[in-house]
Amino acid sequence: MNDIRPTTRARRGVALLFALVTVALASVVALSYAKTRDVTLIAADALREAAEARNAAKSGLAIASAMLDAGALPSAADQGVLFADIPLGNAHAAATLFDLETSLPATAYSRGFNLVIAGASGSLQSTATAVGRIRAADAATLVDVDLSEFALFATESIDIAPDAALARWSNSPFAALREPIAIATAALNPAHVRIGRDADAIDFVIGQAAPIPTTSLAADEALADGHIAIPDTLLLPASPLPPERLGATSDESITLDGVVQSSTRSTTDIRIAPRASVTVRGSVTIAADADFRIEPGARLIVEGSLALLVGDDFIIEGADIEIAPGGSLVAYIGGDLEMESAFVGPLRTDASEGRDATGLAAWDGGAERVILYSMQTDANRDDELASRWTIRGSSVVKATLYAPNASIRMEGTSALYGRAAAQRIELASGSALFYDPALDDRQGFTATESGIYNGRGRVHSAVRALTSLDPTALIQLAGELGGRVQSVARGHPLLELSSDAAHTAERIAAERQVAAAVERESSIVQSERNARRAGKENGREDDDEEDKRSTRSRRGRAPPRVLSVGGNHSSDR
């Protein structure tokens, strides 16, 4: 007989166990739900605050933009603060302006700005930024006549080879504005600008003869088509007259060395020997009636203000010219410019930069501190006597090239950081131009708000009649326009018409007297220079580089005695 026991108690135990497990699970789920609900509420609050902070930043940006459009700028005492902690709903916002060039708090003298808006709600913050130009309050009376708004400007033609490059200087502070790069010829005919199919030309527009667009839509359509409308043909004014030839004059060739603190002049050549180092301090004028040559491995450092007058050719071979902070170089070149694997520009803050032709070179103050002018070589602008500027090898130049009576050709892997204006410009295979947008003050021919244009949208007749950047001509132009005139001319960056007509007349008369004296002296030197250049031109077309060097050594001069200029010199002024 089988012993069968009842199972009721066991089933009750299992049921009780299931009940306890169910209660436990319910408690865990309830606790988890409570915690999840707390986290959800916190997350929702954070999302709300983040959204409010973002909206405050956006609203603050709109408010700041409207204030800047109305001409509001912080004073020096404000440390760049445009407004601080204005309430916007449950959030608040603050706006600070920084100078685009210096990164310091912006002032009324800043040309561009970096606007930073901080929106905050609760513990969360959101930031909005914008960059822009600061328009002068008297912009309608300002005129910029040196065509620095164009990366390339030629009176005749522009040629860019298939594998040459045209782009912005990426490290220029104004590159952040991403404004189109303007290039043009005097006739404003795009057919005179030839760009190779595979050229690395980025974001550029070509000047075209057309009325100024009357709407922003029409202007945008022109830009999208690759053109910028300019209502009148353009002229390239002659370079300003060079300063007086100051200092002791020698009839011998001069070799510079050491520290130069006084002006000097040679009626023949001036040179800096291979691997020599020359430092210019103070305001100095160095004049060579013939050639000025800087030889391989040499270095010229300009700590002051250097005016360099070269009657014939300016030759830089494997050498460096560096401009220290606060310094400037203005060269007036009567003959050819020849650069072979050279560096010319601001003192490099990064010693490892070398000759960077990639477009990534440091800005270091930009292209404004070095200006190379061509001087008039023939009253009739005879092409046979026109200068030829050649930048070749691995040369890197950070400068403004202003050569109304010269052709500019870049070869090899050379690069120009800045801008160029000449009769003809050619970027050969492998070369590059990186435009410095800091050169454009938005007061020239590409800015419709400029004082260049009259009420009918045409260029003022006085501007069209301008033939020179000489201070006398600029003062006269300012008088006719009743405003202010800017030009690239170092030493005369801003010429303002005085409200006192008599005083203005005295200034113009004084400037004309100085200009006449300089012109008389220049005409004598120029006659001699033209005679030398005419003789040199006879064999020029068939000369290779070695022939050109030997031609310079066969100019019929007696072997010069070499003088040394340098060391501790006192000023001769």
Radius of gyration (C-alpha) of the chain in whole angstroms: 33
Range of weakest confidence among 138-142, 348-352, 505-509: 505-509
Q: What is the dihedral of CA 537, 540, 541, 545, to 10 degrees?
A: -160
The confidence band for 552, taking pLDDT boundaries of 50, 70 and 90, is: very low
**0.85 exceeded by pTM:** no
In DSSP terms, which residues pair with 301 in a beta bridge? 279, 322
| pLDDT computed for residue 312 by the predictor | 94
Of 214 and 366, the one with more pLDDT: 366
| pLDDT tens digits for range 190-216 | 999 999 988 999 899 999 998 888 788
Amino acid at 195: I
| pLDDT tens digits for range 223-281 | 888 999 999 889 999 999 888 776 788 899 999 999 999 999 999 999 999 999 999 99
| pLDDT computed for residue 567 by the predictor | 35
| pLDDT computed for residue 44 by the predictor | 72
> Looking at residues 352-380, what average pLDDT do you find?
85
| pLDDT tens digits for range 10-56 | 444 444 444 444 444 444 444 444 445 455 555 677 788 888 888 88
| pLDDT computed for residue 248 by the predictor | 81
Rounded distance between C-alpha atoms, residue 418 and residue 361, angstroms: 12
Range of weakest confidence among 62-76, 141-155, 240-254, 518-532: 518-532
Of 274 and 123, the one with more pLDDT: 274
Asked whether 477 and 145 are in contact (CB, 8 A), the reply is yes
Strands 387-392 and 396-410: parallel
Q: Which long-range contacts (CB under 8 A, 24 or more apart) does 520-524 make?
A: 521/244, 521/245, 522/241, 522/242, 522/375
Q: Count of H helices and E strands in the chain? A: 6, 34
The confidence band for 497, taking pLDDT boundaries of 50, 70 and 90, is: very low
Closest CA to 533 of 381, 402, 386: 386
Of 441 and 169, the one with more pLDDT: 169
Amino acid at 146: D
The confidence band for 564, taking pLDDT boundaries of 50, 70 and 90, is: very low
Closest CA to 308 of 324, 318, 321, 297: 321
Give the pair of three-digit tokens for residue 490: 């170092």
Asked whether 419 and 437 are in contact (CB, 8 A), the reply is no
Q: What is the 3-state secondary structure (H, E, C) of 459-476?
A: ECHHHHCCCECCHHHHHH
| pLDDT computed for residue 213 by the predictor | 84
Closest CA to 236 of 475, 104, 405, 486: 405
| pLDDT tens digits for range 473-486 | 888 888 888 767 76
| pLDDT computed for residue 492 by the predictor | 37
Rounded distance between C-alpha atoms, residue 439 and residue 450, angstroms: 15
List the domain boundaries for the chain.
28-133, 248-430
Give the pair of three-digit tokens for residue 502: 């008599």
Of 346 and 9, the one with more pLDDT: 346
> Looking at residues 1-9, what average pLDDT do you find?
41
> Looking at residues 299-328, what average pLDDT do you find?
96
- Classify residue 80 by its DSSP letter: T
| pLDDT computed for residue 236 by the predictor | 94
The confidence band for 385, taking pLDDT boundaries of 50, 70 and 90, is: low
| pLDDT computed for residue 400 by the predictor | 97
Rounded distance between C-alpha atoms, residue 188 and residue 158, angstroms: 12
Q: How far is CA 202 from the centre of its chain?
A: 17
Q: How far is CA 252 from the centre of its chain?
A: 39
The confidence band for 537, taking pLDDT boundaries of 50, 70 and 90, is: low
